[in-house]
Every structure is written in C-alpha cells, then in structure tokens.
Amino acid sequence: MQFLTDFADQRVALPLSLVVAIAFVLSGWKRGALAWAGVVAGTLCCLAVLKIVLLACGWRWAGGVLSSPSGHTASAALVYGGLAMLLLRPRGAARRVVPLIPPLLAAIVGLSRLELHAHTLAEVVAGGGVGIAGAFLLPALAGPPAPGLPIHRVLAPAVLVLVLLHGGRLQAEGLLRRFTIDGLWPPASCRLPAVPVSPPTGNPG
C-alpha cells in the first residue's frame, strides 16, 4: 500500500505537474498548459486552505472525523485523472469510460490511505472530491488539444519523473500541522481548551 500511495505524494505530484505544463508548451498547446497550471495550482491551494481550516477547527465542527482532507487522494484524481481527461478526449464509447478515471484513481489511492491508517473515510472522500472537481474542470478550460498533439512527448517526461522521484515524501502535512499548532492560524473559538493543572498535594520537597 505504501508503494501505491507514494505515487500521489506531493514530492512526485508537484514536479510531475510542472513537467506536464512544460511539455504542453513545447508541444504547442499553450492554452492547455495555462489551464493545467492554473487548475492544478488552484485546486491544491484550495485543498491546503481546507486542510489548515479543518486542522484548526475540524475537532469542533466534525467531531474529529474530518480534520485533514487527504492530499494524496486529491492529487491522484487531479494530476493523473486530469491528465487522462486531457489526453484521452472522450469520444464515442470513450465518453462513458474516461470520466470514470479520476474517481477510480481517487478510490484506489484513498483505499491505500485507509489501509495505512493515514486518514479517516471522511477525509479520503473530502480529498477525493476536491481532486475530482479539479480534474473535471480541466477539459472545460483547456479546450481542444493542439492539432496532432504528440502524446508521447507529454508521457515520456512524466514517466521519467515517476521513476526518479517515486518513494520520496514531501511531508507537507507536517508543515501544515505546525502552522496550526503554533497558533498562527486557529481563531480563539477553535483552539483546544487548555487542560487544567491539578494543584500539587502533600508537602513539597
């Protein structure tokens, strides 16, 4: 499960997204590159904000079952599923198959996160929902691909990134947790109440 989940770690997903954007530009699909960069960056930023808010206040709003939407699940649906949505344009019978790819990838990686006890079911569903929404937004903003778009020029560098970076971990979750725990974000209403300290008993010394 760890091998599977590492494909969607930000250490892999972020460089992969950058390489795909560059590949689109070099292939002559500038609108696709702009849409890809904007949607991926925007979706991941929305996810980061959602994580920060829920890390601080999720214990109050959701009883602890939704404190950190799964970034791995979101990345799987957004990056891999979104790339499939762009390169495998749904035509004919494929119209019913290609749109299933982002939810399927979210389900597979989401299951790995559950098996690793990294997230709750609610967090996996929330992260998957964010990533799937981004993946479905991509084709609408990117428009039709450049004529004769060489798919191999996009996939070859993407596969190279996977081979070189798979297994590395960015630990983005830890950075966000420190941001909230250090008191930089949580409003007073969301901060955990201080645990009262019992007065010492007996004679000191």
**pTM of the model as a whole:** 0.82
- Residue 201: both structure tokens together: 């008993």
25-80 confidence digits (pLDDT tens): 999 899 999 999 999 999 999 998 888 888 777 766 666 678 889 999 999 999 99
In SS3 terms, 176-188 reads as HHHHHHCCCCCCH
Residue ranges covered by each domain of the chain: 2-185
Give dist(CA 130, CA 110) in Å, integer. Answer: 13
